[in-house]
Structure 1
């Protein structure tokens, strides 16, 4: 291998960097500092072989500091495409280093790259942690599942093809539009401070023209002040998620220091072998008939399978899937209502509830939804929309989504109200949480997220924003959180296991209550756990454990459902223990035991710590 050039980095900087990388984020600062003190930092040029663990045993592993490396995992495929590419924070060489065998991989610099070499004996404790075990298990599984010759992911670096256009905040809209046209770019970034950028796009300019605003208006008055952004070294899939979550026109790409390097648009993802979701997203968004829409969406399960096979974390795969569900629902609403000239598609807000609202929809998820109309809309006028809402439900069913069996749908009068009526209903549920399924409806609406119409928080969400001020409701929600299903551990070979009821739902309930108790507005279960970590009822250690367990069981659930889909069976949440390996059965048994122990601790605290409800 060519000689590398040594790079000087101080221990404090390296310690902070390693602490942001999995699985080293499981280590305490003193241990990280000890590892950093023994690290070596080296720079390689394009084409240099950074590591060849096929030829020699190694006692070190590597983390990418800057740049990227192509990785080959099989010695007989070195002339083919790399199996994956690692960018900043990416780890490689750990299998060979930890086992002491000449196994893999071969790593080659893509452009100039800086790597950190770490002694294997010092970093071994990181892999003994729960995060480290999950990291290894996920890598082994994804490597075994990966198709030959298909990279694990493409970096966003590969999609940035042109230099960025940056304008000052005082630049007029007309001047910005001219410079965008001259550069043949669909956007201009607005420099608003060190490492901070606003954004104007072609769509922004069209909105100005449509509103008859003067084109002499400074761009600062019409820009998006907080556009989506990613750093160099992020996977293209991560950038794609930003596009899908916000239906963004552009995602800005910066370096580690915050300097703008360029931008990517939805069309850029179409050329990436690992972000086919962008093409499918565009096909759904532009479908001209409900028949076309239904046909396009039937390709989503295969896309989910491909993303899993490429090694993307299950939580991110589910986020992509949920974003595509949003696109399907949004377009179905538009097409169906457009077929009724007497209805106005802008007259209502469509709310996704439950797992869809939390962006945690999987193949078996029911479609829970509600609609909120502007105040002053009469009951008769609302009734005219319900047949169209039922048509939307039928379109979604034909596309492959599960219709909610309990009537949580805009076709149901109870889930179609005006803003003020929703507000009154919510206050009623909060005042009588033990009556008429009030707490169930509260949970649904607390997890609600608008995906069509007024995307600001509707009135019902504002009511629930103060939910922690209603102790009786919080008490009921806490009771649900610590309620343990009547299951017995260690008997996996004798019964079916409901992954949702026995593992995922308890974590979802705990996370919801905990986040509400600290006043956090976030919706996703893992984000809720992180927001509430260290609170009186949920220690940081317990939150971390539940976060890990949720990811592990979600991956097990999603993989099981994809296997059912491939076999032509309807996806479900139940697995037969005899279909699990002994390792999987043991992991699941341990996971449910962890959840039960945490619920028990929470129940004990609830009895002795005042004002927790």
Structure 2
């Protein structure tokens, strides 16, 4: 019994149970040996009566009752749990399980495990098991954080070394970089010297290799914290065009270095190759052919069980590359237009790097203040209309509400944007002030001099305008989390659920407002919720709940849209509830209840406490 209790305690969802609970569970557990090929359970013929935990060997799962002859859809190893979907929903919905090797399993009676899945660890376990029932490669490697990509000890040098000495050291160790602690330069952090730096800053410039490393290195190298999702580190490398990225712990100590090549074997690593093909496209036809593979790459990440935030980050990264290259190809056809006089900005979910397969492309442009001739601005807008058409050919839909750079409302000079933003801040009820504020707060420049950041600075001062902040709070909370709206009932859309409008957007709105209320410049929803956690309007617990809920909703949303892609249906945020598994339906319903509870609390508090300190 102790052996079984010890084993269960090391594997989710049992790892959150107290020792006494584990021993009581172990006392009701039966251990059984099964031979390779022997059926373990068949949830398609009857409701599963025992939860199965694999103690040794491996078990294959088949998610469809029509095809047991081929390879399994999933392979469960030691610590793997199966049968919970059938037990919790009391339906014969599968899967079929059979031993792939001689294995040992333990069987836990259904009557004894309901409390396990009612615990916090049980809920997290279920949320993490949301997936599309599709075949995946058993050998697919799942990489979660940047730590998993570190291959060896980082190579450290000194700023006082000569470039010749650094080059010899890099050659001897077969490295393309050298990390330089800034301690001896009187600063903190790290500098980096790479092969590319030596070629560009020393050899090409005709400088002697006796020059000190400290004079030619990048003195302020970007770093990433241990534990950072691999996809986030990949985005940073590609966006900043880095050859290497030092990995540091919370104390600032160097733990390793990762580069673009380290991501090739990771699930998101194929995005490196595809992004390169997109940026290298020489014609609109080549760009469209490459960009149309974007949704399939994101879908494959979902099928492999990667977190939804990784799939959405990769999708947004590739969308950025497609927009950049599309703009370049169009401007190549308009040499009369000064490409250095504009900044292209993405808005909405793409700006937050939370794009899903159904996401539209919201965009805006900020012109240099020297662009004042109306005829020149009209010529730019014509070109931007061509960009819209090219992106549509690439499979990217433009915003149906007109938030596109080809619209006069979204193409202004830097000065005009700043003046308009200041006006919206002072009078949010005029000139679509609240709508435009929400759009521009979720903005990220991807081309040009990033001049629209000045607009973000205008909105960062919203804490000094509590009346406006309170109006924005009321607007954010007006989008209620709910399973069905009256419009759904009247339009006859029974049995459907708009997961974006009625679940995801309420969380996004709370996060956006919460970040504004504490003066945070974070963009993505999860980071905004963490930044606002602990404020009077959003407690630590509320923030943690909303982050978990957001992850669950995005997983369900992406999984459903991947299933639509597989069925050659257009991706949609309107979900037919009967197409979800009973378990997924219950998780969505619980998520909506959690969001609604936080909204009610914030509405009540808004009557009594200041919106900001």
Fold shared per TM-score above 0.5: yes
> What displacement does 1:365 show?
1.1
Normalising to structure 1: TM-score of the pair?
A: 0.75
Who is 2:220 aligned against? 225
Offset at residue 331 of structure 1 (A): 1.8
Q: Write the deviation string for residues 209-256 of structure 1: whole angstroms up to 9, x where unpaired.
A: 69969663643664152424465x988656534434544332335799
Q: Residues 220, 565 of structure 1: CA spacing in aligned structure 2 closer, same or farther, 3 A cutoff?
A: farther
1:199 aligns with 2:192: yes
Q: Does 1:480 align with 2:475?
A: yes
Question: Deviations 1:547-603 (Å, cap 9, x if unpaired)?
Answer: 111111111111121122222222111012222233322222222222222111111
Distance of 1:265 and 1:423 partners within structure 2: 38
Aligned position for 2:110 = none
- 2:584 maps to 584
Higher CA-based Rg: 2
Instruction: Please list, as runs of the form range in 1=range in 2, the aligned pairs for 1:292-441 lying within 5 A after superposition.
Output: 292-380=286-374, 381-441=376-436
User: d(CA) in 1 for partners of 2:529 and 2:507?
Assistant: 9
Query: What TM-score results when the alignment is normalised by the length of structure 2?
Result: 0.75
Provide structure 2 residue ranges, at least 5 long, that are not aligned to the other structure. 1-9, 24-31, 41-49, 63-70, 88-96, 102-112
Shift of 1:536: 0.5
- How many Å separate the matches in 2 of 1:456 and 1:182? 44
2:91 matched residue in structure 1: none
Q: 2:129 aligns with which of 133, 136, 139?
A: 139
Q: Which residue in 2 is equivalent to 1:550?
A: 550
Secondary structure at 2:129's aligned position in 1?
Answer: helix
The answer to whether the 8 Å contact 1:350/1:452 transfers is yes
- Contact 1:81–1:151 at 8 Å: present in 2 too? no
CA contact (8 A) 2:224 2:246 kept: yes
Structure 1 145/567 Cα, relative in aligned 2: closer, same or farther at 3 Å?
A: closer
1:275 matched residue in structure 2: 269
State the distance in 2 between where 1:592 and 1:598 align. Answer: 10
Q: Find the residue that maps to 2:81 and give its secondary structure.
A: helix
| Per-residue deviation, 1:257 | 9.3
Describe the shift of the 1:440–1:561 C-alpha distance in structure 2 as closer, same or farther (beyond 3 A): same
String of CA shifts for 1:352-407, please: whole Å, max 9, x gaps.
Answer: 11111111111111111111223333234443322222222211111011111222
Partner of 2:176: 186
Query: Structure 1 pair 507/162, CA: closer, same or farther in 2 (3 Å)?
Result: closer
Q: Mean Cα displacement is larger for which, 399-408 or 488-497?
A: 488-497
**Structure 1 stretches of 5 or more lacking a match?**
1-17, 39-51, 63-69, 87-91, 107-122
SS across alignment from 1:372: strand
Pick closer, same or farther for the CA change 1:160–1:513 going to 2, 3 Å: closer
Among residues 452, 469, 481, which one is paired with 2:464 in the alignment? 469
Does structure 2 retain, via aligned residues, the 8 Å contact 1:84–1:152?
A: no
Summarize the Cα distance change of 1:168–1:409 in structure 2 as closer, same or farther, 3 Å threshold.
same
Separation in structure 1 between the aligned mates of residue 563 and residue 73 of structure 2, nearest angstrom = 27
1:95 pairs with one of 64, 81, 85: 81
Matched, 1:535 2:524: no
Q: Number of matched residues?
A: 546
SS in structure 2 of the partner of residue 400 of structure 1: coil
Q: Is the 8 A contact 1:166 1:189 kept in 2?
A: yes
What SS class does the counterpart of residue 503 from structure 1 fall into? helix
In the alignment, the residues of structure 1 paired with residue 52 and residue 357 of structure 2 have an alpha-carbon distance, to the nearest angstrom, of 43
Q: 1:151 aligns with which of 140, 150, 153?
A: 140
Query: What is the alpha-carbon root mean square deviation over aligned residues?
Result: 4.6
* Counterpart for residue 166 of structure 1: 156
Q: Select between 209-218 and 291-300 the one with higher mean Cα deviation.
A: 209-218
Q: For residues 456-507 of structure 1, give each alpha carbon's deviation from its aligned partner in whole angstroms, at most 9, with x where no partner exists.
A: 7621111112122222321221011221449566999934211111001111
Cα offsets for 1:73-126 (capped at 9, x unmatched): 5499xxx9998999xxxxx62639999xx99999xxxxxxxxxxxxxxxx9999
Equivalents in 1 of 2:72, 2:191: separation in Å?
37
